[in-house]
Amino acid sequence: MTALCIDDLSPTDPLAQRLCEVFLRNRWDFISAPIVEERQLKLVWETGQIPKSKKVRWQTERRYPMKSRVFYRRWMNLSEVIGVRFTSLTSYLVIDIDVGSQYHPNQNPKGLTELQLALETIGLVRSVPIRSSYSDGIHLYLPLSEDVKTFDLAVAVKLCLESCGFEVRNGQLEIYPNDKAFGVNIKTLYKGHRLPLQPGTGSYLLNDDLEPVGDSLSLFFEQWDLAASGQDMPTLFNAMSVARLNRLKKPRRRLNNVEAWRQDLEDTLSEGWTGASQTNRLLKEIGCHAVVFLSLSGDELADHICDTAKGLPGYRKWCQHQQEIEMRSHYWGRAVEKYYWPLEARTKSKALRPKEATHNEKRATSARDKIVSAVAYLQKHNLFPNQITARISSITKAIGGGTSRETLYRNKDVWHPDYQTTLKQSVTTDLERTELSSEPQVRNNTGVSKPQKIKELRTNQEKMKCSPARNDSSSLEKTTLLPLRGVRGEENCFPQPPKASPIVLPSDSRELTFEVPRELDLSLEEVITGLKTQVRRLQWSYERLTDFIAQRFDGRRRSQLLDEEVLLLLYYLQNQKQ
């Protein structure tokens, strides 16, 4: 007994309730068709003529589920035919034999008996034969005493019938449920079958002689229960498990069978010419065989095609290009070499081809190389701190950004004080061997090429003054490792213009302001004040200044400049003519 839905109400008639319990397992995706075509088949059937095969125009309803009372009412309706689909469990199966099938009694009186004997080998001993409609097709119902897996049952029945020589295909022998494909992206449904004994469709119960005995649901379910109790369920379960395993182990057809290809080519060439207009095809096959399996090319390939063609059967009788066979052999030799290649050469090239690094492996190697280069540069210039946090900051600044802490810790054997001892010697050796004469390949944050000569910066004593910067460790960590540009010698100092009040640009109403970080000393604040003074002197707009900074600092803005880059900007502005 199948439990009803919470919002479902069963019909009053007990036979209607049994009809819903057996066939209304899947309330969704039911099928229906107009009854007009069934009446046309009835007229043909009453005249004694063999009906022509005409498919019923079934439609699937996916918008709403079927309810029990509606199901029984539509089964009784004389204007339509309805059908159902299977769920993952089932208690029956149906075998459909069309009137034009080679297994139908009209064509083969023993066909149905042989089919039933084959089904007995997997435990399906008893069945209920039904005439499906006025088309005179046969539906063989095989009820079960308990639920089984639908797909396993479909596979077991199909393999059973195919192993006994039956042809399972549409129009001959169809099995419901079918062994449908598994839907990965799209849901696939089992095939739907029409309901038995629907009024007005010509469906009747059949006796052992396949003669109609009535269309009573009561008689139908009596035979149904009798057949279900007689099935050999242990044998069926064993057959289903074996069939499912055999399906999983079913060998797939090889698409690259080289020996079969060779044999096909040799069989084709062995018969030679058997008629006219075969020269080009045979020359092509000869060339293909020679290139792939004999590794021939060039003139040797053309000579082989020509000599082989002359020795094939039927050449003297059927070949109409004997006077130009050498020229055609050369043409086909060049053409074949463009589309085929020697089998041995391809096999060797695959075996010798090195494994290419993946994209992630290339990125990891590049990141490690940058870290090694940065550590070597810091050690060479005695700028490598002892503290872990300070080392991370120094390495990151030396690389120029783009390296996360996770990447650094994945390569901690290069820089971490607890792991670096094992690789310290190898890093030093690499530096000495490569004789690095310049800084590591780190990103140039200033975007300005290094001048060829260090020239003296001429300053006006009244407008510029110098004060030494702090030389403690905190200020060292705040600056990048790249040397300052545009200053004289190695002295750490800031050119300081006199203080000036903020200016308002003449082109618009926006005030040019520079935010000074709180942690910086007064000298840098005075540098920023000097920037304002130079902008006022040049009478530049905000857009003009932004473009000027972007051209000289890799497209960056004022807020993205480092401390020494602000100093360099001041130097550029002071040397800019109005």
Nearest one of 314, 317, 270, 310 to 289, comparing CA atoms: 270
Question: Could you identify the residue written with the tokens 């129009």?
Answer: 171
DSSP 146-188: EEEEHHHHHHHHHHHHHHTT---BTTTBEEES--PPPPSSS--
Answer whether 238's CB lies under 8 Å from 124's CB. no
pLDDT, position 161: 93
For the chain, the structural domain boundaries read 14-248, 258-351, 364-434, 473-574
pLDDT in tens, 340-361: 888 776 555 555 555 667 778 8
Task: Please give the pLDDT value at position 427.
Answer: 43
Report the alpha-carbon distance of residue 265 to residue 312 in Å, rounded: 13
pLDDT in tens, 490-532: 444 444 444 444 434 444 434 444 444 444 444 667 778 888 8
Average pLDDT over residues 190-203: 92
Closest by alpha carbon to 131, among 201, 47, 44, 43?
A: 201
Where is pLDDT greater, at 331 or 138?
Answer: 138
String of DSSP letters for 82-131: EEE---SEEEEEEEEE-TTSTTSTTT-TTHHHHHHHHHHTTT----EEEE
Instruction: Specify the length of the chain in residues.
Output: 578
469 has pLDDT over 70: no
Tokens of 398: 């030396």
Would the pLDDT of 461 be above 80? no
- What is the structure's pLDDT at 489? 43
Mean pLDDT of 292-318: 91
Please report the DSSP string for 341-387 in residue order.
--HHHHHHHHHHPPPPPPHHHHHHHHHHHHHHHHHHHHHHTT---SS
How distant is the alpha carbon of residue 224 from its chain centre?
Answer: 48
pLDDT category at 197 given cuts 50, 70, 90 is very high
What are 71's two structure tokens? 């199901």
Cβ-contact 2, 23 below 8 angstroms: no
What's the average model confidence in pLDDT over 431-435?
Answer: 41
Local structure of residue 485 (DSSP, 8 states): S
Is the pLDDT reported for residue 315 higher than 50? yes
The answer to whether the beta carbons of residues 197 and 158 sit under 8 Å apart is no
DSSP letter (8 states) at residue 446: S
What is the full DSSP assignment across 219-276?
A: HHHHHHHHHHHT--HHHHHHHHHHHHHHHHTPPPPPS--HHHHHHHHHHHHHT---SS
Confidence of residue 466 (pLDDT cuts 50, 70, 90): very low
The span from the CA of 394 to the CA of 375, in Å, is 9
Average pLDDT value over all residues in the chain: 78
Look up residue 249 and give its amino acid.
K
Radius of gyration of the chain (CA): 45
Torsion sign over Cα 325, 327, 328, 332: positive
> Measured between alpha carbons, how far is 380 from 504 in angstroms, rounded to an integer?
48
